[in-house]
């Protein structure tokens, strides 16, 4: 039994750096913001690992010993590095930190859809699929008069979009009426 536990621990310690690299690569361009839910794992330290951490309105979360950690506008890999650097030395000798995104913030769709509102983002989501989540287009909807406001755009400018446009977390989509 002890040998089995030792082998499992050894395998996990070898795989953890690989898995964190894969996660960081997958989410390499995604910037965290308020409403995102992340998971933090510190190998061998259950008291410093958290299955679910939601970023507050300011994009911050609280972490033991370190206090508030600003995650808004940063990628998961940057949070991994920040936690590793801040834990190293004072608290741990060689911390192995993994951060992954569990739930993305919602996107919003309004206008000529059957059920306007906020919906859970899924990677690879197109506007066509977003419309399907919102119950489909109404009879008066125009497929040519669609705008999207990107959450990342500080000026919040509406951009023209098509049903093949990729949707990002926090985006606001408006589907206007068509003129007959």
Report how many domains make up the chain: 2
Domain extent at residue 162 = 107-177
Task: Please tell me whether the overall predicted TM-score, pTM, comes out greater than 0.95 for this model.
Answer: no
Specify the residue for token string 């741990």: 92
Tokens of 128: 């066509």
User: Domain end: 85, 103, 121, which one?
Assistant: 103
Same domain, 15 and 85: yes
Same domain, 118 and 73: no
Q: Assign 180 a pLDDT band (cuts: 50, 70, 90).
A: low
Q: In this structure, what are the phi and psi dihedrals at residue 56, rounded to the nearest 5 degrees? A: -75, -175
**3 state SS of 42:** strand
User: Domain end: 81, 103, 125, which one?
Assistant: 103
Same domain, 60 and 112: no
Tokens of 76: 């998961």
CATH number at residue 91: 3.30.1950.10
Same domain, 60 and 122: no
Tens digits of per-residue pLDDT, 61-119?
999 989 999 999 999 999 999 999 999 987 889 999 999 999 999 999 999 999 999 99
CA distances (Å), origin 55, targets 31, 45, 158 = 12, 22, 26
User: Domain end: 46, 81, 103, which one?
Assistant: 103
Tell me the percentage of the chain whose pLDDT exceeds 70.
84
């Amino acid at each position: 039994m002890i040998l089995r536990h030792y082998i499992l621990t050894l395998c996990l310690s070898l795989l953890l750096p690989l898995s964190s690299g894969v996660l960081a690569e997958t989410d390499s361009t995604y910037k965290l913001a308020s409403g995102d839910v992340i998971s933090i794992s510190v190998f061998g330290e259950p008291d410093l690992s958290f299955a679910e951490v939601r970023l507050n309105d300011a994009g911050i979360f609280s972490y033991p010993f370190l206090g508030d950690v600003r995650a808004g506008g940063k990628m998961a890999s940057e949070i991994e590095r920040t936690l590793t650097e801040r834990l190293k030395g004072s608290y741990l000798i060689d911390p192995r930190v993994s951060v992954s995104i569990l739930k993305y913030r919602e996107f919003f769709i309004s206008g000529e859809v059957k059920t306007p509102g906020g919906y859970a983002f899924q990677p690879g989501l197109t506007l066509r699929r977003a419309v399907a989540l919102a119950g489909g287009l109404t009879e008066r909807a125009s497929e040519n008069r669609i705008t999207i406001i990107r959450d990342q755009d500080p000026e919040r400018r509406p951009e023209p979009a098509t049903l093949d446009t990729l949707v990002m977390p926090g985006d606001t989509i408006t589907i206007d009426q068509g003129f007959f």
